[in-house]
Amino acid sequence: MLGDANKLAWAMAEVGGYSCFLSPRAPKNYQGATDDGYVVGEPGSDRLLIPHPTRNLEVFNKPLALKKAFLEKVHQVSKHMKGNDILFVGISSHGRENDGAAVVGDFYAPHLGQAFISTKEFGDAISSKLASTHVVLWVSTGFWVQGDWETLAAAGTKQESQSFPKSPSGYYRGGLHDFSTFIAHGRNSGVTYPFRAGPGLH
């Protein structure tokens, strides 16, 4: 999921207007991360470093606190949009199996505590926006394709995709498209290639 967040931060690095990132942990504490960014590629090869989000980054250790902050932020921003303003929202998370609700917390460790953001809750959060304004949602699950927003989903209806699938070696190496896109367009926003990671980095 950190890879998705870093891709969004990279894509928005030179975009004007207000932006923020809400996270359940500091980016450097994710698997595959250094202090400076997310590393893509196999050990011993030329790897790619995508910078962490830095602008208006807020970390919430409690899933429910993050959920509340997210919905409130979306509500406040959408309520104050004017004219043809566009609100872009990226949700970097797994979806709950039965309804695609975004999991807040560790997907693989539910005993540590989780919260869920449903499509209805998101719809309620943007319900005060003007009809002339637009909401664009970037998410990895196709459950979110219906609503008062435009969905950029990486999967079909009731399906889910991974931005950087794990290779058989256990590392997130990405593909040729990932590398070529970031190398060609990411220099101005801090993308580093080739990047030599230390032997202890996973």
Q: Is residue 48 part of a domain?
A: yes
- Kindly tell me if the per-residue pLDDT of 14 is higher than 60: no
Cα 190 to its chain centre, rounded Å, is 18
**Are 192 and 49 within 8 A, CB to CB?**
yes
In a domain, 143, yes or no: yes
Q: Which domain range does residue 90 map to?
A: 2-195
pLDDT of 155 higher than 80:
no
Spatial separation of the C-alpha atoms in residues 144 and 138, rounded to whole Å:
9
Q: Per-residue pLDDT tens for 30-83?
A: 777 888 888 877 777 778 888 888 778 899 989 999 999 999 999 999 999 998
Read off the pLDDT of each residue in 79-102 and give the average, rounded to a whole number: 89
Residue 63 lies in a domain: yes
Q: Residue 13 falls within a domain, yes or no?
A: yes
Distance between CA atoms of residues 70 and 56, nearest Å: 13
Residue 8 lies in a domain: yes
Number of domains observed in the structure of the chain: 1
Strand partners for 195: 47
Give domain status of residue 202, yes or no: no
**Which residue did the predictor score with more confidence, 98 or 31?**
98
Q: CB count, 10 Å around CB of 193?
A: 16
Query: Is there a domain that residue 201 lies in?
Result: no
- DSSP-assigned letters across all residues of 79-147: HT--TT-EEEEEE-S-B-TTT-PEEEE-TT-GGG-EEEE-HHHHHHHTTTS-TT-EEEEEESBGGGGSS
Please report whether residue 200 resides in a domain.
no
